[in-house]
Structure formats: C-alpha cells, structure tokens
C-alpha cells in the first residue's frame, strides 16, 4: 500500500466555491479518463523537504481528529505544483514570495523532464513550501478488493490568486475550475467520470457556500480513517458509523 496525498484547490467565483480538477490521460495505468484532484504518491524527497523546506503551524489537538503528517503535506503541495502549476510557497522567514510566472513554468517543465528535483527548485528560488493554509481534510485507504492500494490523505487549500492553473498535458489534461454541485450533476448525467472517493468529497464540499465556511469546517472536522466496503458490483459504501464522521 503506497502513501499518497491529494489536494483540493479551491477558489471563490461569483457566488460559489470552485475546485480545480483534472482528467487523467487515457494512457494512464491508474484511473484512466477519470476526473480527479491533483495528487500522487509520497516519495523519499518529500520527507526530507518536510524537515528543511516546509512552513507549517502546529495543529491544536481536536477530539476525533487525526493529526496531519508533514511529509504528506509536502507531497500534496508538490503534486499541486506538478499537476496544476500552482505553488503555495513563501520566503523562509514566512514573508510572501514573489513568484515569476516564467520561473514557475520553467521549474515545472524541469521537474517533468527529470532535470531537477523539487528541493533543488525550491532552493534555487530561495523559497519554501507553505502549508500554513493547507487544511487536513480526510484519510482514506483503498479497499483490499482493488489491485492498486493507496493510503491517502486529502487536503484543502485556497488557490493562489495570482497564479493560473493548467493541466500538465502529460498525465493529465482538460483541467478546469468547477463547482462541486456542477461536477456532481455532470457525473450523474454521465459525462464527468469520477471514482467513489472523489464523489464523496465533492458531496461534502457542496454543503458550504463560501471558502471561509469551507475552510473553517475543514480545520475543525473529525478525521477518521475510511476504508470503503464493496457494495454490489463496481460499487462502494462507507461503514454507517463513519458516514457523517469522516
């Protein structure tokens, strides 16, 4: 089972909250053609970055809320950059980082080409990844019935207002901002394919009309490990005891 992190990048648009989503390539060995949030596996470099190049705030203990792991936070922020082009970063002293769009594009291209690492990119720009506004949202484990199993932590983050999101056109394409309600409607109508955990998260996000309300909920909600159970052919369900508490 691989450790993984996923980030739900959010923004307010008009009178609704929108989430950035991507469609996975049809050539992908994992979830081909599915609409997903940016995310991927935690790697060894994420652990090192968490020790030296990460800004975060200590979480106050909350009953029923599993604490976040810094390495998963780094993975979420790295994947957000690699897959959406959006980088949550700051100066090492916590002050805002002035990020040049051309530098971000070049760094992202170099990461995809394998000519640099994420830590090298951060050090070159003299910045650190900033998890101070990253909200730990949930913890899901792929059920044993699936061939590929992931131990995944989901996060919520406000998208940087001065950056433009775009799919990487390698593993993902057709990136778009979409309200949870619209994504769920299109899924019901058959033209927005998603897997069970994505649908469940969007259903939860759809309950909150503003980013402020959603962020407050994300910071204080309970977090319990969810391992869906098979419920009929190609269908899953959450244990009734966890349905409203994950």
Which pLDDT does position 80 carry in this prediction? 98
What's the predicted TM-score (pTM) here? 0.95
Give the start-to-end residue ranges of the domains of the chain: 2-237
Sign of CA dihedral 145, 73, 11, 137: positive
Mean pLDDT of all residues in 70-85: 98
With a cut of 70, say whether residue 234 has pLDDT above it. Answer: no
Q: Is residue 216 left, alpha or beta, with left meaning phi > 0 and alpha meaning psi from -120 to 50? A: alpha
Q: How confident is the model at residue 145 (pLDDT cuts 50, 70, 90)?
A: confident
With a cut of 70, say whether residue 233 has pLDDT above it. Answer: no
Q: What is the torsion angle, in degrees rounded to the nearest 10, for the CA atoms of residue 49, residue 2, residue 230 and residue 140?
A: -20
Mind listing the pLDDT tens digit for each residue in 53-68? 999 998 889 999 999 9
Q: How confident is the model at residue 175 (pLDDT cuts 50, 70, 90)?
A: very high
Cβ neighbours of residue 135 under 8 Å, at least 6 residues apart?
155, 156, 157, 215, 218, 219
CATH number of 2-237: 3.90.79.10
Q: Report how far residue 50's alpha carbon sits from residue 54's, in angstroms, rounded to the nearest whole number.
A: 5
With a cut of 90, say whether residue 30 has pLDDT above it. Answer: no
| Average pLDDT score over the chain | 95
Mean pLDDT of all residues in 173-190: 97
Mean pLDDT of all residues in 90-104: 96
| Tokens of residue 172, six digits | 């993902």
Q: How confident is the model at residue 153 (pLDDT cuts 50, 70, 90)?
A: very high
């Amino acid at each position: 089972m691989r450790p993984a992190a996923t980030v739900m990048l959010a923004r307010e648009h008009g009178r609704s909250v929108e989430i950035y989503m991507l469609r996975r390539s049809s050539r992908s060995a994992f979830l081909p053609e599915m609409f997903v949030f940016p995310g991927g596996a935690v790697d060894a470099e994420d652990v090192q970055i968490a020790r030296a190049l990460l800004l975060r705030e200590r979480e106050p203990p909350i009953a029923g809320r599993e604490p976040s792991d810094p390495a998963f936070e780094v993975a979420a922020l790295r994947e957000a950059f690699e897959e959406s082009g959006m980088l949550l970063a700051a100066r090492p002293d916590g002050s805002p980082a002035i990020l040049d769009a051309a530098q971000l594009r070049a760094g992202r291209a170099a990461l995809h080409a394998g000519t640099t690492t994420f830590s090298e990119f951060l050090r070159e720009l003299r910045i650190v990844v900033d998890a101070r506004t990253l909200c730990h949202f949930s913890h899901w484990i792929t059920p044993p019935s699936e061939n590929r199993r992931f131990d995944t932590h989901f996060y919520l983050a406000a998208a940087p207002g001065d950056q433009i999101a775009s799919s990487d056109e390698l593993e993902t394409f057709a990136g778009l901002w979409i309200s949870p309600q619209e994504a769920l409607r299109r899924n019901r109508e058959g033209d927005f394919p998603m897997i069970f955990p994505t649908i469940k998260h969007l259903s939860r996000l759809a309950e909150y009309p503003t980013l402020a309300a959603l962020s407050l909920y994300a910071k204080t909600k309970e977090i319990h490990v969810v391992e869906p159970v098979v419920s009929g052919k190609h269908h899953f369900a959450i244990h009734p005891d966890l349905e409203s508490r994950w």
